[in-house]
Chains A and B, each alone.
Chain A
Amino acid sequence: MPHLVNDRFNLIIQTHSHAMPFLTVADLRTYFHTRSGVVRAVDGVSFSLQRGETLGIVGESGSGKSVTCYSMMGLIAQPPGKIESGTAFFDGVDLLNCSPAQARSIRGKRISMIFQDPMTSLNPYLRIGEQLIEPLLIHEKISHKDAIKRGIEMLEAVGINDAASRISQYPHEFSGGMRQRVMIAMALITKPELLIADEPTTALDVTVQAQILELISKMQKELNMAVIFITHDLAVVSGLCDRVQVMYAGRILETADTRSLFYNPKHPYTQALQKSIPANQAKGKELFTIKGLPPDVSKPLPSCPFAPRCDFAVERCLTEPISLTALSEGHAQACLRVQAKEI
């Protein structure tokens, strides 16, 4: 159904037609060919991002939010993974179909990434300094001495006291929050234009989470970079992001600016997700729950993936294909019944 894909692509361009987007992902499909079948981790995802903008990608585990970004960064192990289709234009270069040399010149330089678990994403055998300046040595013509100097400045910028002596320590000498700061310093040392943060605060305590979120938004303003923030926690997104897209079973079900998504959610899944947060409910009352389990993505899902759990589902929700359709400027959602104005 190429025409359908095209329509969806055009639509997303149209909804943000005021400026040429800086990153445009269109119809991305990443499948994993495993022994127990083809797992459709990302199944037709399209979105775009402006310079300096913060986009939140929210979804439960297995919804494909991480795989979307890993695909763009070329971090999918192939095999078993395979990018079946799609384009991801970053400032005119298609990240999914460019030469390895081109990808290397962008990755780590113009696009950086921070990962969830700061305990495992640093190499325990190397001093912090060596890991921190590696992207600089690779991407810039810089002497080791100058690189270390930049590294110390960067560590200070992310709030590590006594950076000059800390830079020659090993990761085990840092606490979890400090390691995540080191990871951020490492990601930002090349002054990237896009930062992808994959659940950067999930493994941290709330007080440390607050510090890290503050740091990310401070650095974002300083470097004027775009941020893609992947999380399962709607609350984290609310204060940080300009726009949020909700993913479920490898697809985007709703995308809107943060205020519309929180105050005027249209898709039944977004509404249900919001209602099941304990903070939004009266104490002691029974919590709202979404019945059933997330779908098995190893089977093809031609229709709405949320239909079996949806309170509003009717017969055609289980058979007809879905597509993201704009409701208003910048607000698109994929529920057939909302599109037909039935609910």
Chain B
Amino acid sequence: MSDTILELQNVKTHFPIHRGFIFKRLVGSVKAVDGVSLTLKRGEVLGLVGESGCGKSTLARTILQLLPTTEGRILLNGKDLTLASRKEMTAIRCHMQMIFQDPFASLNPRRTVFETLAEPLRVHNVCDKKDVPQRVASLLETVGLSSRFIHKYPHEFSGGQRQRIAIARALALEPKLIIADEPVSALDVSIQAQILNLLAELTRKMGLSLVFIAHDLSVVKHISDRIAVMYLGKVVELGTATEVIDNPLHPYTKALVSAIPQPDPDSEKNRHRIMLPGDPPSPINPPSGCTFHTRCPHAIEACKVAIPDLIAHKGRFVACSRIKDL
């Protein structure tokens, strides 16, 4: 078995835009994910950060094949998911699971905890019918909930407890890869810390690989081994978590990091903020060349033409053609 669990090769997910009521014609596409190449090692936590609309959630759904891939290859354990048949996908989905942002929306309100957690076990026939209650109880204990909650409904739980149930559901099939899409954004600070500890402990104990998506950079830095920064469907910087956050290289990462307020009044006063003008451009018609040139403080004429590749620089990967001058 190789060291790599997941490999993305130039993955693109575009959403076509149609006009017209009867004679629909294609007028363009939203380039939500536009050429992402990444690898994930076994047991590694990869953080994915970027502003809303940068394609991080679309990428997560594409990896799980909840959205069709427009181009590129997604290799899970060396098997290309984009070529897998529906039947093969059902089997493959046991190995990868997702945790969603909003635990108030991701659990069926009319199902008890038992029904929610037993469903994956039943669908994939992983254990004897009579063993199911015991499996469900042990799942609940894994995520730090008492098994006496087994016959309760989601509304009887707080946000943090619901997120624990969602995590238990993702763990039910003992996956190798978990994709967590903003799992703590909807929670309060004190509860957020509990869920982060749980996720960190589970990845360590069960040898899980985790793709962790969040917009809160301090949270991502805490839990991740490596971080990929996305802007308009592309990865602009990739490196170890501490390096990317403490010493960002790409102008976009620099601006993003400098925008985080610090819980410290004195360092807040001295914080040098790099203000990015305006909003991210539309992914329907992204700027030519480097997509960041419209907001970049270092952009020159050449940036409007040349599309920068993700190249190795000072021990990490940066997509900026001026990186050597900065």
Contact = CB atoms under 8 A, between A and B. Distances in A.
Interface residues of A, number: 44
Interface in B215-244: 215-219, 221-222, 241-242
B242 A283 contact: yes
Nearest to B187: A61
B189 A277 contact: yes
A207 B259 contact: yes
A136 to B, nearest CB: 27
A178 B280 CA distance: 12
Interface in B170-212: 188-190, 192-194, 196-197, 200-201
A84 interface: no
A289 B256 contact: no
Given A175-B279, A205-B52, A210-B275, A60 B263 contact: no
B52 to A, nearest CB: 6
Interface in A176-200: 176-178
Given A207-B255, A239-B271, A278-B222, A178 B262 contact: no
Interface residues on B, range: 35 or more
Interface stretch (A25-33, A127-135, A227-235): A227-235
Nearest to B196: A287
B263 A235 contact: yes
A76 to B, nearest CB: 23
B193 A289 contact: yes
Contacts, number: 114
Interface in A261-286: 262-263, 272-274, 276-281, 283-284, 286
Interface in A206-239: 206-211, 213-214, 232-236, 238-239
Nearest to A272: B190
B33 to A, nearest CB: 18
Nearest to B186: A61
Contacts of B262: 235, 238-239, 279
A316 interface: no
B265 interface: yes
Contacts of A233: 189, 261
B193 A287 contact: yes
Contacts of A176: 52
Nearest to A177: B279
Interface string B33-51: 0000000000000000001
A160 to B, nearest CB: 11
Q: Which of B218, B255, B271, B275 has the most chain A CB atoms inside 10 A of its CB? A: B218
* Overall SS of chain A's interface: helix
Interface in B44-72: 51-52
B205 to A, nearest CB: 13
A205 B189 CA distance: 18
Nearest to B267: A238
A16 interface: no
28 contacts: A61-B188, A176-B52, A206-B217, A206-B256, A207-B256, A207-B259, A211-B276, A213-B261, A214-B273, A234-B189, A235-B263, A238-B261, A239-B271, A258-B265, A259-B265, A263-B265, A274-B263, A276-B189, A276-B190, A277-B189, A277-B263, A278-B193, A278-B221, A279-B263, A287-B222, A288-B193, A289-B190, A290-B190
Interface of A: 60-61, 175-178, 205-211, 213-214, 232-236, 238-239, 258-259, 262-263, 272-274, 276-281, 283-284, 286-290, 293-294
- In the complex, the 8 A-B pairs of residues with the closest C-beta atoms, listed nearest first: A239-B268, A279-B218, A210-B259, A235-B261, A287-B193, A290-B190, A60-B188, A205-B51
Interface of B: 51-52, 158, 160, 188-190, 192-194, 196-197, 200-201, 215-219, 221-222, 241-242, 255-256, 258-266, 268-269, 271, 273, 275-276, 279
